[in-house]
Structure 1
Amino acid sequence: MARPTFNELEAFRAVASKRSFRQAADAMGVSRSALSHTIIALEKTLGVRLLNRTTRSVSPTEAGQRLLQLLEPALRELDTALDQLADDRGAPNGTLRINANKAAATWLLSHVVPYFLRQYPGVELDLVSEGRLVDIVRDGFDAGVRLADAIPQDMIAMPLCGPTRFVAVAAPAYLAGRKPPATPEDLRHHACIRQRLPSGKRYFWEFSRNDQELSIDVPGPLSLDDNGLMVQAAVNGLGIAYVPESFASSDLRSGQLVTVLTDWCPPIPGLALYYPGYRHVPSTLRAFIETIKRHRHSA
């Protein structure tokens, strides 16, 4: 029997793991059409159907699931061996994929990425910025960056920066003639700039003071999906926004915005890099971690 190529097996692993031709093609840097032809060629070589395909989904067949279970450890060992060869060459080489939200990506671009790319020219950094929480292992990322309290318990986490906090902000013009909210419940009588999450759901504003915690589904005529736009809407007097303090800091300094409910907005753990501890850490990620350790205190 003819033997499948390494590229065909990698392609199958990507599609079967992600259960999506689009996501697998994006991760591999190929077109969906090329990836589909690769899978068809692999199935023809093996003489068995590996994937169930519909217009909405893709999933491994029973034979495909068995092949995936056998391939995963073998390809991980191969990745480890190739990575150790990179160590022998003395410099990391290859692609490093990191998933982050916009705030985290902005922080990395300011404080880590310039130093990293200068020191390791053989590494291609693929920094994917999106708001939704993803399974970094399933989606093919080496690491992720999120707020520390949103990181899964089975991951290794390394703090990037100190505590942060969300703040409720409004323009003085909006508050003029209105009674500022004294408690989170008072927000029900204000125009709030609501946030729509990547899942489509609206974010419930979360507040805490002493041992009391509140989650409020605030009212408001405007919903946005970007912190920067929410700040701009607040500056324009459209209502109260609830955003990471870093997004509003310049407008707070200039007086275009003021905070409300300050004593209900305590600091929370800041950003952290996280990655699975049960598998080999590639040399590219180890180099990125060392760069963070050298430069995070200058942030």
Structure 2
Amino acid sequence: MSYRPTLDDLNAFAAIVTYRSFRRAAGELGLSPSTLSHMMRNMEARMGVRLLHRTTRSVAATEAGEMLLDRLKPVLRDLDLALDAVGEFSGQPSGTLRINASEIAARVLMNTAIPLFLERYPAIALDVVTENRLVDIVNEGFDAGIRLRESVPLDMVAVEFGGEARFLAVAAPTYLRNHKLPITPEDLRHHRCIRLRMPSGKLYRWEFEKHGQEVTMEVSGALTLDHVGLMAEAAAKGLGIAYVAERVARPYLASGELVSILDDWCPPIPGLCLYYSGHRHVPQSLRAFISILTEVERHGG
């Protein structure tokens, strides 16, 4: 094949397939969707092979496109690492640091590490993507992820921060005035519970533990939500009992809008971790972020 796509073409193609959207890829690359579409049609025409399936709603790689992306990912990754390594000679970390995190974790970082990081390393662009689903950070192009310690894959390097976490069952005083106070998790079967639907479509199962006895249950209730913040808000309105992270419930507990129940069944668990692959070169930008995270943790941030 005499024609060779440019690096810009290949980066654009990889972004389109990764995001399954011309619009999202265009936003990531700083181009217009029409420009991206023109680039891809020109690339396909000159290569003589169709790389993308296009519909009015989505875009996906053809078989040839999937093969190209599989071969392309490590090449682009190695290129980024090479440029990052060269950039280290400048003495000032630069580039883009991509972190995948839960919304709760992102809020913790916004109140602690992120402001100091942006102030100290102005040449680094920090891209934080919040999702409720667990992702493969390597395959999806992230430098690091942040989740609860128990959710971190075993083959990842983990950096703990923020102390222990705790999940609480909470309800409004107005709800408890009209319903018998639960004493054990089994008592929840007689209550209206506010359920959480995961991105996979499955309902989140509530987990309790006391003196080594573990109880995991799928509760029932008339209201199901897909956001923990909305669950706490619904519970504060007296719509039922919610099971949320203590960080989410804390403002409502402080104001008296919510009270915690089944406290002796809700022990602390290992808290948040930043994690990354130990099998890849750790970019200078990530090392800088870890140093800030460690510094904030040392000073009780």
Q: Same fold (TM over 0.5)?
A: yes
1:100–1:130 CA contact under 8 A, matched in 2: yes
Mapped to 1, the partners of 2:67 and 2:230 lie a distance apart of: 47
2:98–2:143 CA contact under 8 A, matched in 1: yes
Mapped to 2, the partners of 1:280 and 1:59 lie a distance apart of: 29
Give 1:131's aligned residue: 132
Give 2:275's aligned residue: 274
SS of the equivalent of 1:144 reads: strand
Question: Letter of the aligned partner of 2:186 in structure 1?
Answer: E
Q: Provide closer, same or farther for how the CA distance between residues 224 and 50 of structure 1 changes in structure 2, counting only shifts above 3 A.
A: closer
The Cα of 1:29 is off from its aligned counterpart by 4.0
SS of the equivalent of 1:269 reads: coil
The Cα of 1:24 is off from its aligned counterpart by 3.9
Unaligned 5+ residue runs, structure 1? none
Give 2:13's aligned residue: 12
Matched, 1:61 2:59: no
The Cα of 1:227 is off from its aligned counterpart by 2.2
Mapped to 2, the partners of 1:144 and 1:282 lie a distance apart of: 14
* Number of corresponding residues: 298
Give 2:167's aligned residue: 166
Per-residue deviation, residues 94-129 of structure 1 (Å, max 9, x unmatched): 221111111100000000011000011111111122
The Cα of 1:177 is off from its aligned counterpart by 4.4
SS of the equivalent of 2:270 reads: coil
Q: Provide closer, same or farther for how the CA distance between residues 43 and 57 of structure 1 changes in structure 2, counting only shifts above 3 A.
A: closer
Q: Provide closer, same or farther for how the CA distance between residues 214 and 41 of structure 1 changes in structure 2, counting only shifts above 3 A.
A: same
Matches within 5 A, 1:87-166: 87-166=88-167
Matched, 1:2 2:3: yes
Matched, 1:39 2:74: no
Question: Letter of the aligned partner of 2:131 in structure 1?
Answer: E
1:156–1:274 CA contact under 8 A, matched in 2: yes
Give 2:285's aligned residue: 284
The Cα of 1:166 is off from its aligned counterpart by 0.4
Mapped to 2, the partners of 1:191 and 1:111 lie a distance apart of: 36
Q: Between 129-138 and 236-245, report the one with greater CA deviation.
A: 129-138
Percentage identity across paired residues of the two chains: 53
Give 2:254's aligned residue: 253
Question: Letter of the aligned partner of 1:279 in structure 2?
Answer: R
Q: TM-score, normalised by structure 1?
A: 0.90
Mapped to 1, the partners of 2:178 and 2:5 lie a distance apart of: 73
Q: Between 234-243 and 96-105, report the one with greater CA deviation.
A: 234-243
SS of the equivalent of 1:194 reads: strand
Per-residue deviation, residues 218-270 of structure 1 (Å, max 9, x unmatched): 12222222222222222222221111011222332343322111111111111
Give 2:242's aligned residue: 241
SS of the equivalent of 2:132 reads: coil
Mapped to 2, the partners of 1:212 and 1:29 lie a distance apart of: 53
Mapped to 2, the partners of 1:29 and 1:221 lie a distance apart of: 44
1:52–1:61 CA contact under 8 A, matched in 2: no
Mapped to 1, the partners of 2:164 and 2:225 lie a distance apart of: 25
SS of the equivalent of 1:169 reads: strand
Q: Provide closer, same or farther for how the CA distance between residues 127 and 69 of structure 1 changes in structure 2, counting only shifts above 3 A.
A: closer
Mapped to 2, the partners of 1:126 and 1:31 lie a distance apart of: 20
Give 1:190's aligned residue: 191
Mapped to 2, the partners of 1:152 and 1:21 lie a distance apart of: 31
Mapped to 2, the partners of 1:279 and 1:68 lie a distance apart of: 19
Give 2:50's aligned residue: 49
The Cα of 1:26 is off from its aligned counterpart by 4.5
Q: Between 69-78 and 261-270, report the one with greater CA deviation.
A: 69-78
Mapped to 2, the partners of 1:35 and 1:266 lie a distance apart of: 51
Q: TM-score, normalised by structure 2?
A: 0.89
